[in-house]
Amino acid sequence: MSESALAVPKEEMKEKVMALAKENFKKGPNCAESVFMALKEAGLIDFPPETVALATGFGGGIGLSGGVCGALVAAVMGVGAVHGRQQPTQGEMKDIIDKLYGNPGLYRFFNQIPHEFEEKFGSTQCCELNKDYPNDWYNKDRLRACMKYVTEAAGMAVDYIYQGKEEGYGQPFGKNMAGKV
């Protein structure tokens, strides 16, 4: 992430990224590509343009399989591009594990993202989010709903990128598979 991007006030950056994501989606990229591209275009992700290809397969909940919403996945990818571990095998095993599970720990931070998305939309699963359109994927109402998921996920990514920079990773865990609190 460029320092100049972080110098932009969060709300201003959030509006910019949400608008970019919406415009991207209108032009044809899938949900995940639209979010990832917007974060990149705004300067929050400092990767080559070709990296948008990493997001392509997540559209439609991974290749239209209905799994985790691609917009949500791309938001997590964007946050991970800024806050994720670039050298996850370096250091002692205890330190490697503590960076994920500890307090502070990255899982505490990333755990918030799907819970917030689910709270806003009722699910993280593409098939649930689009259950009203089982045989009409190109329905304009479905596209409008997905545009909302795209713009909101892009805005959430901005919120978390800034939150991690400002607060670090000591948030309480939400529901999780390890029973962590």
Domains in the chain: boundaries: 3-167
Cβ contacts of residue 44 below 8 Å, gap of 6+?
1, 5, 13, 17, 78, 81, 82, 157, 158, 161
Span 42-71, average pLDDT: 96
What are the residues facing 125 on neighbouring strands? 68
Q: Helix (H, G, I), strand (E, B), or coil: what is residue 68?
A: strand
What phi-psi label fits residue 39: left (phi over 0), alpha (psi between -120 and 50 degrees) or beta?
A: alpha
Cβ 164 vs Cβ 82: under 8 Å: yes
State residue 100's pLDDT score. 96
Q: Look at residue 5 in the predicted model and tell me its pLDDT.
A: 81
Is the pLDDT higher at 181 or at 104?
A: 104
Rounded to an integer, the average pLDDT of 24-49 is: 96
Q: In b/e form, how buried is each residue of 139-150, taking b as 16+ CB within 10 angstroms? A: eeeeeebbbebb
Percent over 70 (pLDDT), the chain: 98
Per residue in 133-143, pLDDT (tens digit) is 988 889 999 99
pLDDT at residue 134 in the model:
84
Spatial distance between the Cα atoms of 84 and 15, rounded to a whole number of angstroms: 24
| Residue 143 pLDDT | 96
pLDDT exceeds 70 at position 1: no
Q: What is the pTM of this model?
A: 0.95
Distances (CA, A) of 108 to 93, 96, 101, 127, 171: 19, 15, 7, 27, 6
List the beta bridge partners of residue 68.
Answer: 125
Residue 171, pLDDT score: 94
Contact, 84 vs 106, CB < 8 A? Answer: yes
Q: Tell which wins on pLDDT, 3 or 176.
A: 176
Category of 62 on φ-ψ map: left (φ > 0), alpha (ψ -120 to 50) or beta: left
36, 73 contact by CB (below 8 A): no
Cα 179 to Cα 36, 104, 108, 169, 175, distances in angstroms = 31, 16, 12, 18, 7
- Quote the CA–CA distance of 129 and 118 in Å, as a whole number: 10
Span 141-154, pLDDT tens digits: 999 999 999 999 99
